Amino acid sequence: MTTYTFGLRCNMTQKPMIVLTGPTAVGKTALSIELAKKINGAIISADSMQVYRYMDIGSAKVLPSETKGIKHHLIDVLNPDEEFNIHTFQQMAKECMEDIYKRGKIPIIVGGTGFYIQSVLYDIKFDETGNEHEYRKEFEELAAQKGNQYIHNMLRSIDPVSADNIHYNNLKRVIRALEYFYETGKRMSEHNEQQHENESPYNFVYFVLNDDRDALYFRINNRVDNMIKEGLYDEVKGILDLGYSEDLTSMQGIGYKEMAQCVNGNISLEDAIYQIKLNTRHFAKRQLTWFRRERDVTMININEFAYNRQKVLDEMLMILEKRNIIRKED
């Protein structure tokens, strides 16, 4: 069996990094494990839901029996009521990467949250202008009086891109984006886009798995059906029974917000399933829009390989060799 190690360029100048992403249900998890086995890699999850404990079925979290001995980082590290945002992810991911490098392995960032991936890949600096701001208390009081949606609409009126990326219940981030605008006169999204123009400090390949739309949507619908069979209703009910509010940011994830409505008697199970499928398909479409506009990506259309995972893996290994991220051991 062929084995691989770090490429020569990585040893001398830039540390290696591999990104494996794509829309939900495209097959990232299984392929990432096979890739990690082949190149002595370790996986860092770039998923905004799998970081939470108790949220297993709805987040399609990898099972311990499926990891095949590959270390997975940033899975089951927070409770549902703990804050997790792009700043937190970037810091935690960098710490994981240093540990992975020390162990002589290659980090593979796997997941579908594009902004999280971008923050690490291009080492984006998030502008912080201090801890105490004259606007913060005003926005907090306004939110208490008129609700989170009102504050979120304020953000949308000045920075629609940031509003699309921040859920209205993530009040801290919404207020931070508003603060940034009123303090600097610039949109937070524009600042982040400028940071995206930075050169990456890593020698990397940014793989984006893709598939025919109808085939992808078929798999999404099947995945949701399987989640229901595996007990998504009971999982969500269990989280609520533990005392976690359905208004938490973590509970706004697709699958959880709809099923929480069902558990609380606001919609039927049939309606919840329909909404989960519809929202997941819409989410996959938004993911692809994001990844297609990213620079430096390598698109892998799995339908062009007749859905043969080994052929896809061989193509990825060939690309990684060409980019001097890995090399065959003598």
pLDDT 10s digits, 152-197? 999 999 999 889 888 888 888 899 889 888 888 889 888 877 766 7
Do 8 and 147 reside in the same domain of the chain? no
Do 190 and 223 reside in the same domain of the chain? no
| pLDDT computed for residue 7 by the predictor | 61
Q: Determine if residue 54 is left, alpha or beta; phi over 0 gives left, psi from -120 to 50 gives alpha, anything else beta.
A: left
Q: How far is CA 170 from CA 2, 82, 121, 149, 283, in A?
A: 47, 12, 24, 10, 19
| pLDDT computed for residue 125 by the predictor | 78
114 and 192 Cβ atoms separated by less than 8 Å: no
| pLDDT computed for residue 145 by the predictor | 85
Tell me which of 194, 209, 232 is where a domain ends.
194
Between residues 135 and 41, the one the model is more confident about: 41
What's the pLDDT band for 330 if we cut at 50, 70, 90?
A: low
Which domain, by its residues, includes 47? 4-124+198-328
| pLDDT computed for residue 1 by the predictor | 59
| pLDDT computed for residue 249 by the predictor | 87
Residue 284: pLDDT above 60?
Answer: yes
Question: In total, how many domains does the chain have?
Answer: 2
| pLDDT computed for residue 131 by the predictor | 47
Do 231 and 155 reside in the same domain of the chain? no
Tell me which of 194, 212, 237 is where a domain ends.
194
Do 108 and 11 reside in the same domain of the chain? yes
Name the percent of the chain lying above pLDDT 70. 93
Tell me which of 179, 194, 209 is where a domain ends.
194
| Cβ partners under 8 Å of residue 63, min gap 6 | none
Lowest-pLDDT choice from 110-119, 296-305, 317-326:
110-119
CATH of the domain at 107: 3.40.50.300
Spatial distance between the Cα atoms of 121 and 274, rounded to a whole number of angstroms: 36
Place of tokens 């919840």: 272
Spatial distance between the Cα atoms of 238 and 137, rounded to a whole number of angstroms: 35
180 and 186 Cβ atoms separated by less than 8 Å: yes
Between residues 28 and 9, the one the model is more confident about: 28
Residue 3: pLDDT above 70?
Answer: no
Highest mean pLDDT range out of 19-33, 121-135, 197-211? Answer: 19-33
| pLDDT computed for residue 309 by the predictor | 96
In this structure, is residue 320 part of a structural domain?
A: yes
Q: Is 15 helix (H, G, I), strand (E, B) or coil?
A: strand
Gap between the terminal Cα atoms of the chain: 12
Name the percent of the chain lying above pLDDT 90. 69
What's the pLDDT band for 245 if we cut at 50, 70, 90?
A: very high
| pLDDT computed for residue 168 by the predictor | 84
The 10s digit of each residue's pLDDT in 219-236 is 999 999 999 999 999 999
In this structure, is residue 131 part of a structural domain?
A: no
Do 143 and 279 reside in the same domain of the chain? no
Q: Give the mean model confidence (pLDDT) for residues 50-59.
A: 98
Q: Give the mean model confidence (pLDDT) for residues 76-100.
A: 95
Between residues 91 and 141, the one the model is more confident about: 91
Do 72 and 114 reside in the same domain of the chain? yes
| pLDDT computed for residue 127 by the predictor | 58
What's the pLDDT band for 279 if we cut at 50, 70, 90?
A: very high
Spatial distance between the Cα atoms of 230 and 158, rounded to a whole number of angstroms: 43
Do 60 and 142 reside in the same domain of the chain? no
Sign of the torsion angle spanned by Cα atoms 200, 202, 204, 209: negative
